[in-house]
C-alpha cells in the first residue's frame, strides 16, 4: 500500500535483464511476471521467456492487456483490486466482499474467454483494497470463489493482516502465514503465492495427505 508508480522504461530496466539471465541459466524454470502493462507482458514473454502474466489490476490499468494475453497464449493471473497501490486502501466499501468480487470477476472472465484465453487463474487480492476484517471474511469463505470454475490463488504471505493481528512484524509472520495458508488450502486454494517456499510446500503436502484420508 502506498507504493509509488514507476515508468514503463524503468520497469523494463529492472525486469528484462534478470529475466533473460534466469531463463538462460535455468531454462526449465516457469517464470511468472507481475505487471499491469501489456507492453511489458509482451516483451517478458516473447523476448525474455516468461511463462505466466500476473496482473494486479485485473486488466483495468491497461485496456490492451486482455488482447495481449490472448495473443501470447499464456496463463493469466487476474487479481482483484480497486484503485491502484497508492489509493487502494481508500476503497474498502463493499455490500458483501465475496459476492462483490465474484461479480467484478464475471464480465472480465467472459471477455477473456471471448478472446480465446484458455488458462485464467483468479486471485481475490488479499490486502488490496480490503481491510483486515474483510481479508479474514474472504479467507473464511474462500471456497465460494470456486463458483467461477477457475483455479484460485491465495496470496497471504507475511501480509499486514497477519502481523498486525498478532502484534508482531512482517519478519515474525512466518508461523501466521503457514496457519492462514493451511486454511486457504482447506478452503479451496489451488495455488499459494509465498515468500517461504519450504514451509508452503510442507503445508501443501500435509493438507493433500489429510484430504486423502
Residues catalogued as catalytic: 159, 193
C-alpha cell at 127: 490486502
Which own/partner contact pairs does 183-186 have at CB distance under 8 Å and 24+ positions apart?
Answer: 183/139, 183/142, 184/139, 184/142, 184/154, 184/156
Rounded to whole angstroms, the Cα distance separating 107 from 168 reads: 39
Residue 19 has a CB neighbour count (10 Å cut-off) of 21
Residues 6+ apart with CB under 8 A from 69: 41, 53, 76, 112, 115, 117
Among 81, 86, 165, which residue's Cα sits nearest to residue 129?
A: 81
Rounded to whole angstroms, the Cα distance separating 41 from 80 reads: 18
∠ Cα 92 93 94 (to 5°): 115
Q: Are 66 and 109 in contact (CB under 8 A)?
A: no
Amino acid at each position: 500500500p502506498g507504493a509509488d508508480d514507476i515508468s514503463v522504461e524503468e520497469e523494463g530496466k529492472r525486469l528484462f535483464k534478470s529475466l533473460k539471465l534466469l531463463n538462460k541459466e535455468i531454462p526449465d524454470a516457469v517464470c511468472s511476471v507481475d505487471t499491469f502493462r501489456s507492453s511489458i507482458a509482451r516483451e517478458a514473454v516473447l523476448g525474455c521467456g516468461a511463462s505466466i502474466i500476473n496482473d494486479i489490476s485485473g486488466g483495468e490499468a491497461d485496456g490492451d492487456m486482455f488482447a495481449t494475453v490472448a495473443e501470447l497464449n499464456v496463463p493469466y493471473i487476474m487479481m482483484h483490486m480497486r484503485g491502484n497501490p497508492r489509493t487502494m486502501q481508500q476503497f474498502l466499501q463493499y455490500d458483501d466482499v465475496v459476492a462483490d468480487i465474484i461479480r467484478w470477476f464475471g464480465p472480465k472472465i467472459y471477455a477473456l474467454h471471448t478472446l480465446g484465453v484458455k488458462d485464467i487463474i483468479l486471485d481475490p487480492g488479499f490486502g488490496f483494497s480490503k481491510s483486515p476484517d474483510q481479508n479474514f471474511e474472504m479467507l473464511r469463505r474462500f471456497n465460494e470463489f470456486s463458483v467461477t470454475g477457475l483455479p484460485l490463488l491465495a496470496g497471504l504471505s507475511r501480509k499486514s493482516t497477519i502481523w498486525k493481528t498478532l502484534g508482531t512484524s512482517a519478519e515474525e509472520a512466518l508461523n501466521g502465514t503457514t496457519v492462514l495458508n493451511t486454511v486457504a488450502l482447506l478452503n479451496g486454494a489451488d495455488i499459494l503465492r509465498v515468500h517461504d517456499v519450504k514451509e508452503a510446500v510442507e503445508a501443501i503436502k500435509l493438507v493433500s495427505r489429510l484430504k486423502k484420508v
